[in-house]
Amino acid sequence: MVYEWYRSSYPSKKSPHLPRTSVQGAVEAAIAAGYRHIDTAHNYKNEVDIGKALRSKIQQGVIRRQDMFIVSKLWCTHHAPEDIPECLNKSLNDLQLDYLDLYLVHFPVGLKKMGDDLFPKKDGKMLTSDIDYVDVWRGMEALQASGKVKSIGVSNFSILQLERLLALCRLPPAVNQIELHPYLVQTEMIEFCKSKSIALTAYSPFGSPQRPPEMFRGVLDPHKLLEDPVVADIAKKHRRSPAQVLLRYHVQQGIAVIPKSDKPHRILENTKIFDFSLTEEDMRALRGLDRGWRACMLEGVKSHPYYPFV
């Protein structure tokens, strides 16, 4: 079982960040509940507090470093060759770690580097770069060779983009981390990655309902997935919560899933998914909800040729 304590892929300064004490406390609660995979990223701006949580639990003797699987991501403003190791080193320093277990290219589209601005804009438009994600990947290969990351992968890459990496680069991506849930089933992507031995990690498994209302996209937004009658009926049948059903849906397909919560009782509840199974009928019903609805679009760069959601 894996745990993602915070996710925001939206270019808004109104994105809700947990208070620092809540971040550290949530990660410590997750570790205490048995989570060993922690997912974060440069642009989440909370690696310092995750580092404190990890250090605290290591000093308490609850975990050893080798027990944990720590994932971070290269942000879009750091796609230039000289910026790739800089971004990694910042994450390592903040996390108080010597290495990462997995490092991902967060998004295939690069953004111009303008100071510390995560979403640089001019006249209201996002400032993108023309750096090829293939060249970014070669920089990631160098990081793995350095020993500072054990494995490398990507996030939000399309099948065509994965095919291009496989054709042109030395190392295949170990992982593609993508949005997955019954409203966005992505059967073709699942089958492709399985055929190429690329592991999948599902983010926003609940449709990202905790985003601020201004980030919802009307009737096409999956934020009410937890309230869907089909999910509710399956949950009632198994005497489980809708969240547990949605998590089990991924685990039963062999897909790692990273739920987000800062509430200790939810963190613990989300681990209780290994003592029941969904029937094939349940799985068909959940897949039948597919409507291609995404929570995470990064629409400010959708005109870029490397935009993956087309």
The residues annotated as belonging to the active site are 44
Report the 10 Å Cβ neighbour count for 184. Answer: 22
Question: Given the DSSP bridges, would you call strands 125-126 and 121-122 parallel, antiparallel or unpaired?
Answer: antiparallel
SS3 (DSSP) at 117: coil
Backbone phi and psi for residue 214, each to the nearest 5 degrees, phi listed first: -70, -10
Helix (H, G, I), strand (E, B) or coil at 113: coil
Say how far apart CA 117 and CA 75 lie, in whole Å: 11
* Start-to-end C-alpha separation, the chain: 31
Q: What is the DSSP string of 180-227?
A: -BTTB--HHHHHHHHHTT-EEEEE-TT--TTS-GGG--GGG--TTGGG
- Assess contact for 297 and 309: CB atoms under 8 A: yes
Helix ranges (DSSP H) in the chain: 20-33, 47-59, 83-95, 133-146, 159-168, 187-195, 229-238, 242-251, 264-269, 280-287
